Structures are given as structure tokens and as C-alpha cells.
């Protein structure tokens, strides 16, 4: 069995989660928040429309992001905990499920394949080296990318 077959088998068994556009994730939250900032409402079916309705009924919203906090930890919380009492729906991570790509997806409303941050470290052609984009530094010596002459547009738009 090759790696792709193993991957599909694990997804089908439920051991791995396959992020889909229809699932609530950082991208859907980002787009719903953006729609209210622009004073429009997202139209659509399913959970995205449901999420949009939740935001439209509230005067204030707090989006709580706990990096590495899986539902297994949620289940261990006491029933009267703040998180459980205010929980509405479970979302999924984008893939890859690393901190950097997920935070950038939340802030841009784009999938990692579109914004280009695919992991903790990313190879940048501009410096012929890898960089930790969430820290904005070259990986090997922690030198700031701006000190190397890079800006956001060069990294994310080229």
C-alpha cells in the first residue's frame, strides 16, 4: 500500500480529518467576520450560513483560539467551565495544521495553498534559505527577514 492509499484509508476510518470548504474552520470564521465588517451577510448553505446567523444575533463576539487544544481536552473540562458553557460549535483546522498556516488562514481568509505559508519553516527563494514566517526570521540564525531586505509583499505576493 503506498502513502496515498494509507492516507485515504486513515481519513475514511476517521483517524485523520480531511479539511473541507464545507467545514467550519479558520477560513470560514475569517470570512464571516469580514462580511460583518463590510456590513454584508454571507449567503450560503449549511454551516457557513449557520455561523453567519450566530454572528448576526450578537453585539459582541470573542473568538477563542487555543493552539493545540483538541476536543479531547474539551471533553475533560468540567460541565460548568466557561469554555463548555459558551461553546457553540466545533471547527476543524486547515491543512497543514501547524500554527503559522492556521493563524495566517484566520487572518486572511485564504487556504494555506493560496497564502503560501505551509509549515513552521518555509523555503524562500529570495534568501536561498528557510525561514520561520510566523516569527519573521531566517531559521538558521534568527536574523529578521526585514534585515535581509524582505517585506511582506515579496514573501506572500510573489
The domain locations on the chain are 3-95
Q: What is the DSSP string of the chain?
A: --HHHHHHHHHHHTSS----TTS-BHHHHHHHHHHHHTT-----SHHHHHHHHHHHT-S-------TT--HHHHHHS-TTSHHHHT-----B--SS--HHHHHHHHHH---HHHH---SSSEEETTTTEEEETTTTEETTT--BGGGGT--HHHHH--
Residue 74 burial (CB < 10 Å; 0-12/13-18/19+)? middle
The contacts of residue 82 (CB under 8 Å, 6+ apart) are: none
Q: Are 47 and 113 in contact (CB under 8 A)?
A: no
Higher pLDDT, 149 or 49: 149
- Write down the pTM of the prediction: 0.58
Confidence of residue 22 (pLDDT cuts 50, 70, 90): low
* 78-135 tens-digit pLDDT: 999 988 888 877 777 888 888 888 888 887 788 888 877 788 888 888 899 989 888 8
**Distance between CA 32 and CA 21 in Å, rounded?**
13
Nearest Cα residue to 54 out of 42, 67, 66: 42
Q: Is the pLDDT of residue 4 over 60?
A: yes
Amino acid at each position: 500500500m503506498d502513502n496515498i492509499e494509507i492516507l485515504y484509508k486513515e481519513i475514511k476510518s476517521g483517524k485523520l480529518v480531511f479539511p473541507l470548504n464545507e467545514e467550519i474552520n479558520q477560513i470560514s470564521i475569517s470570512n464571516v467576520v469580514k462580511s460583518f465588517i463590510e456590513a454584508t451577510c454571507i449567503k450560503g448553505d449549511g454551516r457557513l450560513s449557520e455561523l453567519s446567523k450566530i454572528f448576526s444575533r450578537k453585539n459582541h463576539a470573542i473568538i477563542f483560539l487555543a493552539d493545540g487544544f483538541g476536543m479531547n481536552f474539551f471533553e475533560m473540562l468540567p460541565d460548568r467551565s466557561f469554555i463548555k458553557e459558551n461553546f457553540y460549535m466545533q471547527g476543524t483546522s486547515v491543512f497543514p495544521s501547524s500554527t503559522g498556516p492556521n493563524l495566517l488562514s484566520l487572518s486572511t481568509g485564504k487556504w494555506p495553498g493560496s497564502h503560501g505559508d505551509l509549515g513552521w519553516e518555509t523555503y524562500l527563494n529570495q534568501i536561498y534559505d528557510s525561514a520561520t514566517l510566523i516569527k519573521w526570521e531566517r531559521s538558521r540564525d534568527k536574523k529578521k527577514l526585514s534585515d535581509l531586505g524582505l517585506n511582506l509583499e515579496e514573501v506572500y505576493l510573489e
